[in-house]
Chain A
Amino acid sequence: MPTIELLVVQPTPFCNIDCSYCYLPNRSSKAVVSKQTLVNLFSQVFASGWVRDCLAVVWHAGEPLVLDREFYRDVFRTVDRLKPAGLAVTHAFQTNGTLIDEAWCTFFAEEQVNVGVSIDGPQQFHDQNRRTRAGRGTFDRTIAGIRLLRRTEVPFHVISVLTSRSMAAPREMFDFYVGEGIEEVCFNVEESEGDHVSRSFANPGIEAAYYQFLSEFWRLSASRPGRISFIREIEHAIRQVIRPNDAPFSNQLVEPFAVTSMDWAGNISTFSPELLGLKNAGYGDYLLGNINHDALIDLPDHPNLARMLKDIQAGVRMCQETCQYFSVCGGGEPVNKLAENGTFASTETRYCRLTKMRATDLVLDAIERAQQSGEGNQSPDSCCLEPRDQAACGGIGVG
């Protein structure tokens, strides 16, 4: 039986801006998901038995804030009414931040929504790609939204897409986040997806640049504890490298329905939300059915799933047989294999060389350096931390 761990819902494909690297094919469409479609989705998800003790719902794949707050309040109450007792449902928005106002901040706080804001660093990097349809930069509006989140004490993280230019400027990026009080950062790379072909990936020095960016950004963060509390790429890599050798590990991106996605019309896909809007000569589309016409529990029998899964599993096996990094990644991201290699039944991508291999290399190298610096001479006790970080380091012992 599948387990749904993340539900990605597209409330509308519309986005009020037009980023140059966006993979969404219909971002000018102002279609909106109907209430009945959402009722069909959540009632079937909850009745399926495919959800365990918690479910994360991400409202994304279009700018979620172009819909009004009453839309979401109504949906959230419906979800509360439909969900089984004891099931924790968390809602999250990934937004470009340009529409955040005080009323949205109040809403985020009242509904305890997890907020992610897309901002690519300082203005000269952000406005390079994140523009309006008229070609104007969106930095001023995005940073205004972030400042409002801070002022109203709404917790948030940012996702920044790195390009060749911003990768060459780790200190500038670091100073920007610190200056704006941004504490939690996630770095994406400008990747090839859908119709978008990455310009950054064409740079032959991109892998070394990415490694050096992460290294310097991490070093700067560690040198000023308490400013940047979370760097996703580093902490993920640390957690994948430093784990007991029998700790369970899996790759959700290759497990059917672990990530389940629905577009505004009720079409369902899995493995990766990007697949909802993609078509391919070999595969056709990647849809498994429509929640308004099909039963969720019948979707595992859809021929598209069997076709995708056969190739995805073949790709995972190839990774397992050939890749030194398989144990930190579990077979990669099917959607990137498709974009870069043309098929799920393949292995290495530029995307995985950057985000998995180089990040893992960096953590391994840091461990080597820690070991070499006096064979662990610089103990945790001598580590200079501010009180909040000492609290994070201290406390209960293991075992």
Chain B
Amino acid sequence: MRMRQRYLKVMSSIVPMGAVGACLWLGSVLPTVAAERPVTRNSPVSERLTAIREAVFVVVAPGEISKQDNRNFHLTWGNRWNNWGWRGRPGWGWGRPRWNNWRNGWPNWNNVWRNW
């Protein structure tokens, strides 16, 4: 709970930016000299991940995420965080809409770090 509170403020800033804005902003805080890990490693990675996601959950409105009938939420989350053709595209790049097939939807958070 305490760690979630710690992340709540920064997630309140990051989440509304969408993935593109978050990428730019977070990149801008990196140190000029090639970073040496870690900044802080007080907590296990899994706990930090859990706390961040709980904070994101709070920011995007608790209870809304699994309600399939909340179209506004889905469009928003989908368009700005999730909608670059990631679903079903391990390897990727390939499914990313480039021409005119921008899609709305509620994708899985798939593992898509492949290259073929």
Contacts and interface: CB of A to CB of B under 8 A. Distances in A.
A248 interface: yes
Nearest to B46: A324
A97 interface: no
A393 B14 CA distance: 10
A208 interface: yes
B10 A365 contact: no
A327 B46 contact: yes
Contacts of A393: 17-18, 20-21, 24
A94 B116 contact: yes
A200 B96 CA distance: 29
Contact of A258 (B36, B37, B45, B88): B88
Interface in A277-325: 324-325
A2 B97 CA distance: 24
B36 to A, nearest CB: 7
Question: Which among B26, B45, B66, B106 has the highest number of chain A CB atoms within 10 Å?
Answer: B26
Contacts of A155: 98-99
A155 B29 CA distance: 30
A94 B92 CA distance: 10
A219 B112 CA distance: 23
Interface stretch (A79-87, A128-136, A341-349, A372-380): A372-380
Nearest to A259: B90
B110 to A, nearest CB: 5
Nearest to B50: A245
Interface of B: 6-7, 9-32, 34-40, 44-46, 48-50, 52-54, 56-57, 59-61, 64-66, 73, 75-77, 79-82, 84-96, 98-101, 103, 106, 108-116
Given A231-B23, A259-B90, A324-B45, 14 more contacts: A61-B116, A92-B95, A219-B32, A225-B24, A243-B109, A361-B37, A361-B38, A364-B48, A367-B26, A369-B39, A393-B20, A398-B59, A399-B61, A399-B76
7 contacts: A114-B96, A249-B108, A251-B110, A252-B90, A327-B50, A366-B29, A389-B24
Interface of A: 5-6, 8, 54-56, 58, 60-61, 88, 90, 92, 94, 112, 114, 116, 155, 157, 159, 170, 184, 186, 188, 208, 211-213, 215-216, 218-219, 221-223, 225, 229, 231-236, 238-253, 258-259, 272-274, 324-331, 333, 355-356, 360-373, 375-376, 378-380, 383-385, 389, 392-393, 395-399
